[in-house]
Amino acid sequence: MKAAILHEFKQPLTIEDVARPKPDAHEVLIEVEACGVCHSDLHVADGDWPQLIPITKKPLILGHEIAGRVVEKGASVNHLELGDRVGVPWVYWTCGECEFCREGNENLCTKQQITGVTVDGGYAEFVKAPASHALKIQEGLSSIDAAPLFCAGVTVYRALNHAKIQPGQRLAVFGVGGLGHLAVQIGLGLGAAVSAIDVSDRKLAQARGLGASVTLNTTKVNVVKELRRTGGVHAALVTSAAKAAYDSAFPSVRPGGTLLVVGLPSESLCFPPILMAASEIRIKASSVGTRQDMRELLTMAAAGKVRCEVQTRPLAQVNEVHEQLRHGQVHGRMVLVPH
């Protein structure tokens, strides 16, 4: 099969012919129909995250937003059939036995395997996966539309679930990019009144088209003043990797509200403890999501409440796509297709 291979950090991927994976008894072989390209793939390829360097498999097939069809299954697989459409997320496998798995937080599993990091991912024509963690995709949702939901979508979905957004509450989304435009839709699906904040008028126009009731360009208005004019927001979700976004988001949160940490700046974040205490502001981070989070999000997407803006490219152009991502030239999400 054709696959894009990472041999060394900070080097271009090479398109090669490699052996098709063979599923074990509890695994399925998936013919990849679409694989989203995530900024995390760039961080892995460039060795930017020190925590992942020791566990990154090499040579490695990247890609953790995978959608495709089951073409082979192991002898012990009963709940999936040949032809079923399934997806594989960042969390490739979890033990089901550790404290976090037992508490319903399998995304924090201490023994987890990570798609496109510790095991080969979806920048290929085929990928194998544990049947227990390959999630069915409803037929009303195309593989190209579904793929980005397996990381970008589920990450913001879990964050908003953590915030316990209630109908009528005010949500501010800082950064209307690949994750942010999904967060706007998910927030609206949960009944929130959504404000979108960005530096790009084009992205803000997109947010208005998706249903955001307020759009604010940080280069033209005082965002904190505008959001506090109506009492502050119940939740501020930051998808941007810019520290400045957090500097605006924190003071925009009303007393008792929640700051949701999704975007990951390279610098450390710092918030005044006296303001945190005086206003009882909660700060919650979110790490991708569980299988249950993913099922709920797929149901929302199949009902037409969430749709990712997608551009497609053939697998052979993966290095060009990575360069576009590095230079901020991708709007929405980019998805690779095998041919």
pLDDT of residue 216: 98
pLDDT of residue 274: 92
Query: In which residue are the tokens 């924190």 written?
Result: 250
| Contact criterion met (CB below 8 Å) for 114 and 60 | no
> Which tokens hold the place of 315?
């697998």
What secondary structure letter does DSSP report for 115?
A: B
Cα-based angle 223, 189, 39 (whole degrees, multiple of 5): 65
Q: Where in the chain is the domain with CATH 3.90.180.10?
A: 2-149+307-337
> How confident is the model over 64-80, as pLDDT tens digits?
999 999 999 999 999 99
> Which tokens hold the place of 224?
């904190």
Residue 298 C-alpha from the chain's centroid: 13
Q: Where in the chain is the domain with CATH 3.40.50.720?
A: 154-285
pLDDT of residue 251: 97
> Could you tell me the pTM of the whole model?
0.93
Q: Which helix (H) or strand (E) holds 323?
A: helix 318-326
The residues facing 234 across adjacent strands are none
> Which tokens hold the place of 183?
């967060």
Cα-based angle 265, 266, 269 (whole degrees, multiple of 5): 60
Residue 323 sits at φ, ψ, to 5 deg, of: -65, -40
| Contact criterion met (CB below 8 Å) for 110 and 133 | no
| Contact criterion met (CB below 8 Å) for 63 and 123 | yes
Separation CA 182–CA 262 (nearest Å): 13
pLDDT of residue 111: 97
The residues facing 253 across adjacent strands are 233
pLDDT of residue 184: 97
**Between the CA of residue 298 and those of 11, 76, 186, 324, what are the distances in Å?**
35, 26, 11, 28
Q: What residues contact 328, with CB distance under 8 A and at least 6 apart? A: none
**Pairing mode, strands 2-6 and 60-61:** antiparallel
What SS3 class is residue 5?
strand
> How confident is the model over 86-95, as pLDDT tens digits?
999 999 999 9
Range 2-149+307-337: architecture per CATH? Alpha-Beta Complex (3.90)
pLDDT of residue 331: 82
pLDDT of residue 328: 83
Q: What is the DSSP string of 217-273?
A: ETTTS-HHHHHHTTT-EEEEEE----HHHHHHHHHHEEEEEEEEE-S--SSPP---H
AA letter at 138: Q
**Pairing mode, strands 333-337 and 310-314:** parallel
Which of the following CATH numbers is that of domain 154-285: 3.90.600.10, 3.90.1150.10, 3.40.50.720, 3.90.950.20?
3.40.50.720
Residues of the chain with pLDDT under 70: none
First-to-last alpha carbon distance for the chain, in angstroms, is: 12
> Which tokens hold the place of 101?
């798995």
pLDDT of residue 288: 95
Q: Which helix (H) or strand (E) holds 330?
A: none
pLDDT of residue 241: 87
pLDDT of residue 330: 86
Residue 300 sits at φ, ψ, to 5 deg, of: -65, -40
AA letter at 5: I
